[in-house]
Amino acid sequence: MENQILRDYEEKYTLPSRVFLEDLSKIDGDFIFLGIGGKMGPSMAKLLIDGLKKIGVTRKVYGVSRFSDAEGRQYLEDLGVETISCDLLDDEALQKLPEVKNVIYLAGFKFGAVGKEDFTWAMNSYLPGRVADKFKNSRIVALSSGNVLPFVNVTDGGVDETVCPEPIGEYAQSTLGRERIFTYFSKKNNTPILIYRLNYAVDFRYGVVREIAKQVFNNQPIDITTNNVNVIWQSDANEIAIRSLLHTEAPAKVLNVTGPEILSIKWIAQKLALAFGKEVEFVGVPETSALLNNASECHKIFGYPSVSILEIIDITAKWMLHGGDEFGKDTHFQERKGKF
């Protein structure tokens, strides 16, 4: 019974939307996900394949990763993804990848960057140039991060695409390098690219809301030093990533992607405490600044996310109460010095 409830939740909140299907029908060509083995890749591929089935269109969907997890690879194969095991930093292997019209670039390195700074720069700044050159005849949606942006006062409404980046730490600096390199090759080769600047996607299994929920559920105090965040439901974020293939430009277009609210961690925790029937303790003094996106341009193009923050809180609590699994990969959204 518990498993059926969880399956029902997952199906309801990951179904392709009507507007997604409408846009998907306008995207010609096959698809390739580079770095599909991360947190967003499998769910994004499932959304795409489910959408293609619903509109009755046959396309090849490739998924590229090192695939250290055989079970994860089999899951993708069962979906209908043609998986390719490849170290993208191996240029010979990269050049052998199929020529594909639509590229979703998910590769990157964040957690563990401290102590592996050289690898961080290779993955986040060097590799994008090799990929951009390899797929110069494609359209590319390249995932980036709101970490490249400056901390701003929580009353300022967040940072939009016109504000100059001010990355803190080598992960964020090298991620800005990714953006700059993709932009360079977009200009050089006239390759249409959209740089998808995301923070933070949340899902049943991971993300800011799940992390707070776990602390509340386990009666752990909530640190509200960093008390403000943006979040977006992962399925909404996945839809926007794929739909963004219709909005790539040369030179590259930068787009902030997140939900519409500047949220309070304290407020989220209080809502979750109510759902769990728990008391919640807070520690720390809230800073007046935070890393906050203003995604008004995204909402103008794609509309507001379909899953609201109150729904996110509700389904996260229910997922946990019914014993739903988790990824166990924290976002470290509280980090203020750029050390990942």
Q: What is the pLDDT of residues 70-98, one digit of tens each?
A: 999 999 999 999 999 999 999 999 999 99
- Residue 153 pLDDT: 96
164 vs 111, higher pLDDT: 164
Name the least confident of 6-15, 58-67, 199-208: 6-15
Per-residue model confidence as pLDDT tens digits over 154-206: 999 999 999 999 999 999 999 999 999 999 999 999 999 999 999 999 999 99
What pLDDT is attached to residue 211?
Answer: 95
Confidence of residue 2 (pLDDT cuts 50, 70, 90): low
Tokens of 304: 């507001």
pLDDT of residue 329: 72
Contact 142, 194 (CB under 8 A): yes
Contact predicate 333/31, CB 8 Å: no
User: What per-residue confidence (pLDDT) applies to 111?
Assistant: 79
pLDDT tens digits, 273-312: 999 999 999 999 999 999 999 999 999 999 999 999 999 9
pLDDT at 1 over 60: no
Sorted by where each starts, the structural domains of the chain and their CATH numbers stand as 2-201+231-259+289-304 (3.40.50.720)
The pTM assigned to this predicted structure is 0.96
Percent of the chain with pLDDT over 70: 99
Mean pLDDT, the chain, whole residue set: 95
Mean pLDDT for 95-109 is 97
C-alpha span between 245 and 248 (Å, rounded): 6
Confidence at residue 5, expressed as pLDDT on a 0 to 100 scale: 82
State how far the Cα of 104 lies from the Cα of 256, in Å rounded to an integer: 16
Alpha helices, DSSP H only, in the chain?
2-12, 18-24, 41-55, 70-79, 91-95, 117-121, 127-134, 169-189, 208-217, 234-243, 265-276, 296-302, 309-321
Report the residue count for the chain. 340
Over 90: is that where the pLDDT of 333 sits? no
